[in-house]
Amino acid sequence: MIEVIDLHKRYRGRKVLNGVSFTAEKGQITCLIGINGAGKSTILKAIMGLTPVKSGLIRIDDAPVGPTMYEKVAFVPDHLTTPTGMKLSEGIQFMKDFYVNWNDARANELLKFFKLDRTERVGNLSKGTAAKYSLLLGLSQNTDYILMDEPFSGIDMFSREVIAEVFSTDLIEDRGVLLTTHEIDDMEHLIDQAVLLQNGSVQLAFDCEEMRTTEGKSVIDVMREVYTG
Amino acid sequence: MNEGWTSVVFNNRDPVYLQVVRHFKEQIATGRLKAGQVIPSRRELGALLKINPNTAQKAYKEMEEQRLIITEGNSPSRITDEAEILRTIRSELIESAVEAFVVSVRRIDVPVDELLELVRTKYVEERSRTSQEEGGSSDD
């Protein structure tokens, strides 16, 4: 379980995170939802230790975050960090050299699944293709958790469909997935838990199927109440 | 095996796993799934319906509890052989559809004979239209 406890962060005088607390369980897809600037990406970066926070605690399987967690948690940022001059195959080799838990068979499987050309240069990829490649680099690590920052943002609908398919396969089964989005549309049926963020704190966190069972409300219904009510 | 699985459209307000269960019931009631027939694994179902593995798991658990499907040891799950349960599914689906119809038509206060005649005409029309579209494949 990833636990985020009372996270605070200021940036240029603004309270970006103002006491954020939530948990993301293994074997579940948890979605951080919020409009642009709600602090979604900052939270993922904070979990990965990529940005300093003022106060608060992050624990992964009851242990504080540290260098060993990079073999336990994979991060798919919203833009590719692979050097643009590299071929896709070289980018994969690069990851393989860094990560003990790299799963080459899975990387090959995903190259086929996403129909990626391993000889293509990273800098030449379209936005949709870059998102698929980014996901490949994250999913090919045998980690217990995977964080994804806006995996659907700004991508054509066919690429979105292919990416959504990943969420109904064993590629994510048994892992804990924590992803961010500002538009829930394609994801509504796929996510287990929703965490609604506003003004740097969690307004509401709920189990989506439970919400449908007890209140007959879709995730979008709840979002409308929270954000416009 | 993929037939009839890819066309499921989910609404956002009912629990997804119950919509999956309902889909199975419809397939059973219309004879597309038969007594004792092996059904896709949880993982296959997740991929076919594009739902997350937890939801597929939950749907199977629910169907096992309702004794709609049977999973023995490591063999694949299959539709039950119990005729009584299969019969119940059909009448349950018909009843709930009729109930919904009655609720909405009740507000208009139509005499029952007029209503039944209308239902007969419409229903016959609709059936002949859809069976033409499907090429009369409903019996295979």
Mutate to test the interface with B, among A160, A163, A165, A168 (most CBs of B within 10 A): A168
Count the neighbouring beta carbons within 10 Å of the beta carbon of residue A159: 18
Residue B134 is predicted with a pLDDT of: 62
Contact B14 A212 (CB under 8 A): yes
What does the pLDDT read at residue A228? 87
- pLDDT on residue B139: 45
Cα-flanking dihedrals φ and ψ of residue A114, to 5°?
-90, 0
pLDDT digits (tens, 9 = 90+) for A79-116: 899 999 999 999 999 999 999 999 999 999 999 999 99
Distance set, CA A23 to CA A62, A176, A211, B31 (Å)? 12, 11, 18, 44
pLDDT at residue A208 in the model: 95
What are the tens digits of pLDDT across the range B15-73? Answer: 999 999 999 999 998 888 999 999 998 888 988 888 988 999 999 999 999 999 998 88
**Tens-place pLDDT, residues B93-138:** 999 889 989 998 988 888 999 999 999 999 999 988 877 766 544 4
pLDDT of residue B6: 66
Chain A hits for B40, CB-CB cut-off 8 Å, are: none
Side by side, the strands of the sheet bearing A63-64 are A14-24, A2-11, A55-60, A63-64
Residues of chain A with pLDDT under 50: none
Nearest to A195 by CA among A219, A224, A167: A219
Q: Tell me, what's the pLDDT at A68?
A: 84
* ipTM rounded to 2 decimals: 0.81
Distance CA A163, CA A175 (A): 17
pLDDT of residue A173: 81
State pLDDT tens for residues A42-63: 999 999 999 999 999 999 999 9
- Residue partners of B32: CB distance under 8 A and separation at least 6: B3, B4
DSSP type of residue B73: T
Contact B50 A189 (CB under 8 A): yes
The three-state (H, E, C) secondary structure of A130-158, written as one string: HHHHHHHHHHCECCCEEEEECCCCCCCHH
How far off is chain B from A49, nearest CA to CA, in Å? 29
Nearest Cα residue in chain B from A188: B12
Amino acid at A101: N
Instruction: Kindly list the residues from chain B whose CB atom is less than 8 angstroms away from the CB atom of residue A189.
Output: 10, 12, 16, 50-52, 55
pTM: 0.85
